[in-house]
Amino acid sequence: MAEKPKMAQIEQSTATATTYPRDLFERWVLFLDTLRERADNMIEHQRRGMPPLLDFKYETLLDARHFDRPANYALLRITEIGDDCWDDCVDMAKPPVIVVDPRAGHGPGIGGFKRDSEVGIAMHEGHPVYFVVFFPEPEQGQTLADVHHALRRFVEEIAKRHPDHPPILYGNCQAGWAITLLAADCQGLSGPIVLNGSPLSYWAGEAGTNPMRMMGGLAGGNWAAHMTADLGDGRFDGAWLAQNFENLQPEKAIWDKYAHLLSHIDDERERFLEFERWWNGFYTLSREEILAITENLFIGNKLETGEMRVCDGCTADLRRIQNPIVIFASEGDNITPPTQALGWIPKVYADTDALKAAGQRIVYLINPHVGHLGIFVSASVARLEHRAILESLDEIETLEPGLYEMKIDNPTGDPDCEKPAYSVSFEPREVSEIGEVHPEDALRNVAQVSRTGEAAYDLFLGPWIRAITTPQSAEALRAMHPMRWTRLMFSARYNPWMGVVQAMADSIRPDRAPLPDDDPQLKAEREAIERIGASLGAMRVARDHAIAVLFKALYAPGAGFVNQAKE
């Protein structure tokens, strides 16, 4: 009698062993077909001129390409999001919200990528919503000052349309420092500003944890960006910035993302394709813009120190800002860690008394785990944190001057719960509590080396590169960028075998019967994926520590490399 159960176990094990290879083969085919569709989406997006990937209807109010000082920006009025439309939802008694998306290699859309977004929440709350977008190519010779004046005109236009309420400005990542410049320039702003994952203190961070701030030094400074823009015929390819982001956590970019798609192909395909539409749309910056960004921010850190020149006769000064500032950062953000979002405060205000004497209110909110992009695209973050910020702005404006940490108490864990199921409090903090992690001497040495290298490049090598570069050679270099060809190689347009993959995937989908999640071999596969990801993560940690050691050896006070550069 004991033989029958044993035989049944053997038969079940054999059946599982037979089923798993078939399931793996089907998932592999569907995985390749998903990469094919991603490539085709990328080609189609480029064919259409790379329009903004926004999940709402809108009308264009102002196009800065037609301004006296043209810039590749435009101001949109949001007219409809899903079932929410302007006429039915907007309460003109509420202040308008302007969302400015980051121009950091990708196209616009991250702040309005889906209905549950900053734009969608603001519209649902009844606010008039406006959105600032930009186009794939900058205007000829476009500068940061041109962009600055275009944004200023956009804000003035909204202020005219809503004279009773100053607009609320949302700045995501790079757009955060762009609107901070508006508040810190000679004219200033009157409404509150919300900075989401926005770096203002570029030298802040922890050794071995935030390596991006050190990469400019290891590359030799500003000249590398200058040469890249020269090779692009005066255009800096945003694919380089996207690649820098992926290099920060390669275990996620080259392994976890694709391994997770393969193991969950039946559930993750649509989400993967939706996000990749935005991630693989690479926009460009002008040579003048990228040089100003690297010189003033990444390497020079001039915004924090009050040395960043906006235009003739005006230098940005963070002490000028009088309107309330809300800073939303995350411990899980390795692109803009909280130290870079908050580190400027103790540099600008010596202590809490100085902050209060300036009449300023700064409120910060720290998420414990969400990543950089999750600050903008996570639906749960939009439905809780962003909604809580928006609903609390009136209270924030009534706070006494000072520094506060915003705390959201949500016992149910439901991001859709309403008050009083969740509550918001503002706990006073001291400026000294923020702390500082600024290897300033080393980073000042980087700035010195960068100036020397930039001068040498512009004198000896730059003129030759600019002389031999043509629009055709620049386009060829763009096409050969790894962020493009590693995607496009899966399109049937470049790889005929992908037509076979598409036919096989079409035949698999109708009868697809995936293995249950508790299948032993499937669980073993996913555990192996996690182990490989953890190993790659450990290698990345070791790399980051090595970067910190090398950086210190090159740029610490008294380092031989620095002394040679100064000589």
Using alpha carbons, select from 393, 359, 408, 493 the residue that is nearest to residue 122.
Answer: 393
Residue 267: per-residue pLDDT: 94
Is residue 375 a contact partner of residue 417, using CB atoms and an 8 Å limit?
Answer: no
Is residue 396 a contact partner of residue 325, using CB atoms and an 8 Å limit?
Answer: no
User: 262 is written with which tokens?
Assistant: 């393969």
Residue 334: per-residue pLDDT: 82
Q: How far apart are CA 295 and CA 454, in angstroms?
A: 10
SS3 367: strand
Q: Which residues contact 150 (CB under 8 A, 6 or more apart)?
A: 64, 67, 69, 71, 73
DSSP state of 253: I
Peptide linkage before 420 cis (omega within 30 of 0): yes
Q: Tell me the DSSP string of 68-119.
A: SS--SEEEEEEEEETTEEHHHH--TTSPPEEEE---SSB-S-GGGSSSSSHH
Site of tokens 């404006």:
397
What's the average pLDDT block by block, 10 residues per block, for the chain (567 residues)?
Answer: 47 55 96 98 94 88 97 94 73 92 88 75 88 96 95 96 93 93 89 93 74 79 94 96 91 95 96 92 96 90 89 89 93 88 92 94 94 83 88 93 94 74 91 74 86 93 96 96 96 95 96 92 96 96 90 78 53
Using alpha carbons, select from 260, 209, 250 the residue that is nearest to residue 530.
Answer: 260
Q: Which residues contact 542 (CB under 8 A, 6 or more apart)?
A: none
DSSP state of 319: G
Task: Provide φ and ψ at 362, rounded to 5°.
Answer: -125, 125
Residue 463: per-residue pLDDT: 96
Our measurement of the distance from residue 22's CA atom to the centroid of its chain's CA atoms, rounded to an integer in Å, reads 39
Range list of H helices, 249-327 = 250, 257-263, 265-279, 287-293, 302-305
Range list of H helices, 118-163 = 118-124, 144-161
CA distances from 403 to 346, 363, 368, 429 (A): 11, 6, 20, 5
Residue 54: per-residue pLDDT: 84
pTM of the model: 0.90
| Cα angle: 257, vertex 498, 477; to 5 degrees | 70
Residue 12: per-residue pLDDT: 47
Is residue 375 a contact partner of residue 328, using CB atoms and an 8 Å limit?
Answer: yes
Structural domains present in the chain:
21-50+208-300+439-555 (no CATH), 51-203+308-436 (3.40.50.1820)
Using alpha carbons, select from 369, 408, 372, 371 the residue that is nearest to residue 388.
Answer: 408
Residue 243: per-residue pLDDT: 94
Residue 16: per-residue pLDDT: 46
Is residue 150 a contact partner of residue 289, using CB atoms and an 8 Å limit?
Answer: no
Residue 445: per-residue pLDDT: 87
The identity of residue 150, as a single letter, is A
Q: How far apart are CA 354 and CA 373, in angstroms?
A: 34
Residue 392: per-residue pLDDT: 93
